[in-house]
Structure 1
C-alpha cells in the first residue's frame, strides 16, 4: 500500500485492543482493504500486516455522520475550505458530512454541487455530500431543479435553504410535493422571519436585562408546526434543522405519533449551553437559533434520549475574527462544532450514565446515515461491513483551544473547557484519516 491511498483488497490493516461499542473485553479487528474481515482476530506473526493501529483499549464506533455543516467553499475560503473542513471532520471522528448550500455562489445548480463533491473526493479525508438549496439564490421564491441535482455526479439527496427559512407556505408546499416525487429529503431552517427581525438572543429575562432584542420560541415552533402539517398532507420526508425549544420537541413528538415522516436534529451547543452565556456579550455565543434557557436544554436532552429528536448535528459554522470580535448584535451567527461534538455528547450522556456508546452510535452515525440514505456509513460493526470507523479514547483529558483546531477559524464556544473524551483515530474505507490529534494530508496534495 502506498502512502495517501485507500487500501485495496488483500491489503490488511490490524487494529488491536479495541472495544466495539465500548462493550466487553478488547478484541483485535482485521481489515481487508476497506472492509471488516474479522472482529476477533488472532494475531498471526507469519502474516504481513501493512498497517497496525494500537487501539489501547479505545471504544470502537462506526464512523460518525454529520447531517449539517458549513464548509464555506465556494466563496469564503478565508474561513474554511473543503480540505480544512474535512480535516476537522476527520479529527472529530466523522467519515461523512453534509455541507449546506448557503455558499457564494449558492449551491443551486448541478455544476456547483458536483464541484463540491469532486473536491471532497479528491481530499479523501471524509465523504463530503453537498446539500442543494430549495430555492434559487436562497431567495425563497423559485424552486431549484431538484431532479437535475439528484442526477449529477454528486447525486444530491438533501435540499435546504439553511441560514434562511422557506417562509412562503405556497413555495414550501410545492417544494414538499416536488421532493416527495423524487424521494429526496427537505431540511428546514425553522424561523418565521417576521418575528425575528433584528433579534439576536433568546427572548427571555437575560436578553431583556442585557438590552438585546429577543428571538421568541414561537418563531421556530410556528414553522415546525406548519411543515409537520405540510408533510402530513403532501407526503415526502422532512427534516427539522437545529431544533432548539421544548415546544419544538413536543410538536415533533406529536408528529411522530401521527406517523408523519419527519426527523430532527439537535446541536451539541443547544444541549449544553444556555443564554446565561450572554452575560459576556461575547460574539462567539451568537448563534441561529439562539441559545435558549435551562428548561429547553433539559427538554432537548430528553427528546434525544427517547428518540423524538433523531440525531446530533454540529451546524459547524466557521467565522473569522473580524465577524466575531465585534459588538454582540453585529456578530455573525454560528459556532465551530466538528472537533468537539463527540466530547460534548459523551460528557452530557455517557459520563453520567444516562446513555451508553450504542446510543452515541445511533444518534451520531446510524440514524444520520439512515435518514440521508447513505448505504456505506452508519453500518454495524460486523464482518463484511465497510471499514468506516472511529476509535474513541474515553479516558483522555484535554482542553479546547481554538488556535489548535484544524478549522481555519477559531470561533469555538467551548474555549478553555476540559473534556475527558477524544477521538483516537478515524478510518475512511480502511484509510486512516486522523490519528492521535493529527489529520492526515489530503490525497490531492
Structure 2
C-alpha cells in the first residue's frame, strides 16, 4: 500500500509559478509526480492525503542544529528537537557536538545515531568534534567518528584557535572525504564579557562589543588552509561583511569553501535589540550592523553564501532570564525559519519560491552529499506540505521544542508547514484539523 498526496501544487520553474500536482509514494520512495488530478490513479487502494491546494515540496534540510542531547535534556532532547524540526517542515537535520559529554568519541556519536533512530521524528545526522573536549588541542579519531556515523567535524561553539591544529584537522578530514565545519571566532581580539557586536547597541549601553574581525580572521585563515589541504571547508553562521568578502574571494580562487547563514542574521541587526536587554536577542555570532545584514542578503543572492540554516539553540527560560550579560548565547529557530524567510523575501517579491527552497533543501543536500532535496520519481519520500497563504503569529508557548527563546514572538508570518513526511511516513500533520486529512482510496 502506498500514499497519494493529491490536490497539491508545486513550483515548476525559476519564477515560482505554481501548478497542480499529485505525488505517489510507495516503500519510502516517490514513484511519480503528475501535474493533473486526472493523472492520479485513486482507484488502486492507496491511502490519499488531500493537500487542499497547498505547496508540495521536497523536505527542508537544516545542517546546523543543537539537540542538547546528551547532557542538557532540560533544554531539548532528540525526541523534542526532532518534533520541533518536523513542525518546521524539516525532514533532515544535522546536530552539533557541543553536548555533555561532547561528541568526541565513537560511543557518543553512536548514542545520538541510535537514539535518533528510536525516538527521532526526522533524519538526524551528527557531527563529530574536531578536538577532544572541544579544547582545540588534541585531535579526535576522525576515522572512528566517521565509522560511528559522523558526517563531518566541527568544534561549534568555539573556534579552533591554533592554525596548525586546524590544518592537520583539514588534512585528516580531506583523507576521509568529509568536511570541516567551522565556528569562526578568534578569541585574541575579543574582550571579556562581550554579548553584542561592536555597534550602536553596544555604544548606547556602554558595552564591550564582539568585533567583526573576530569572525573574519578565522575565515581568512581557514580558506588559505583549505586551499593547501583540499578539504571541503564550510563556514558556520556567517554574520559579517568582512567574512563575505573573504568567502567570495576564496570561491573565485577555486577553493572548496561553502557557507551558511541564519534567518536572524538576515532579518535583524543590533539596532533592533530592545533596551530591556532581553537575552532572547543574544546569540553567537551576535546580531551585527545593518550594513552586515545587507551584506548577508546580497551574499545569499549571488551564491557566496550557499545555504540557510537555523542554528537552533534551545535554552531554558531561567537561563535566558539572567540578562544579556550572563545568559547563554542562542535562540530556537526550527519552527519559524521557513515562515520568516518566506514572509520577508518571497511574499515581498525579492526572491522566488524556488530560490528559497534551493537554499533550504536542494543545495544543502548537494553540499553534503545527501540523498534528498528534490521532488521527482526515484527521490526519497521526504516531503513537506506548506500553506503559503496562511498567516499567523509566532507563539512560542505552542512550540514543540522544550525551549521558547526567540526574538520573533508575536511576529505575523505566512508560509507555514502543515505536513511533514519522512521516508513515506507522516511524522507531523495539521491537515486533519481542517477536515482535509487522510482517507483510504
Return the alpha-carbon distance in structure 2 between the equivalents of residues 31 and 23 of structure 1: 24
Would you say the 8 A contact 2:200–2:270 is kept in 1?
Answer: no
Tell me the residue number matched to 2:415: 421
Tell me the residue number matched to 2:430: 436
Question: Over residues 172-223 of structure 1, what are the superposed CA-to-partner deviations in whole Å (9 max), with x where a residue is unaligned?
Answer: 1111111111111111111011222321101013201112210100101111
Establish whether residue 115 from structure 1 lines up as the match of residue 111 from structure 2.
Answer: yes
Tell me the residue number matched to 1:130: 126
Tell me the residue number matched to 1:288: 284
Establish whether residue 328 from structure 1 lines up as the match of residue 353 from structure 2.
Answer: no
Would you say the 8 A contact 1:13–1:33 is kept in 2?
Answer: no
Return the alpha-carbon distance in structure 2 between the equivalents of residues 242 and 284 of structure 1: 17
Query: Displacement, 1:47?
Result: 1.9
Would you say the 8 A contact 1:58–1:424 is kept in 2?
Answer: no
Establish whether residue 15 from structure 1 lines up as the match of residue 12 from structure 2.
Answer: no
Question: Over residues 323-364 of structure 1, what are the superposed CA-to-partner deviations in whole Å (9 max), with x where a residue is unaligned?
Answer: 101221111000000000001111222111122221122111
Return the alpha-carbon distance in structure 1 between the equivalents of residues 265 and 42 of structure 2: 49
Query: Displacement, 1:368?
Result: 1.1
Tell me the residue number matched to 2:264: 269
Would you say the 8 A contact 2:56–2:385 is kept in 1?
Answer: yes
Tell me the residue number matched to 2:196: 201
Would you say the 8 A contact 2:200–2:271 is kept in 1?
Answer: no
Unmatched segments (≥5 aa) in structure 1:
1-10, 440-445
Distance 1:57 1:46, change over 3 A: closer
- Choose which of 15, 30, 40 in structure 2 pairs with 1:36: 30
Would you say the 8 A contact 1:284–1:324 is kept in 2?
Answer: yes
Return the alpha-carbon distance in structure 1 between the equivalents of residues 181 and 100 of structure 2: 20
Return the alpha-carbon distance in structure 1 between the equivalents of residues 387 and 424 of structure 2: 19
- Choose which of 230, 234, 256 in structure 1 pairs with 2:229: 234
Query: Which has the higher mean CA deviation after the structures are superposed, 51-60 or 66-75?
Result: 51-60
Query: Displacement, 1:146?
Result: 0.5
Return the alpha-carbon distance in structure 2 between the equivalents of residues 53 and 249 of structure 1: 43
Tell me the residue number matched to 1:8: none
Question: Over residues 229-250 of structure 1, what are the superposed CA-to-partner deviations in whole Å (9 max), with x where a residue is unaligned?
Answer: 1101122111000000111111
Would you say the 8 A contact 1:20–1:381 is kept in 2?
Answer: no
Aligned residues: 424
Return the alpha-carbon distance in structure 2 between the equivalents of residues 320 and 35 of structure 1: 39
Q: CA RMSD in A?
A: 1.5
Return the alpha-carbon distance in structure 2 between the equivalents of residues 182 and 218 of structure 1: 31
Tell me the residue number matched to 2:397: 403
- Choose which of 307, 313, 331 in structure 2 pairs with 1:311: 307
Query: Displacement, 1:45?
Result: 4.8
Question: Over residues 108-146 of structure 1, what are the superposed CA-to-partner deviations in whole Å (9 max), with x where a residue is unaligned?
Answer: 011110110111111241111111000000000000001
Give TM-score scaled by structure 2 length.
0.94
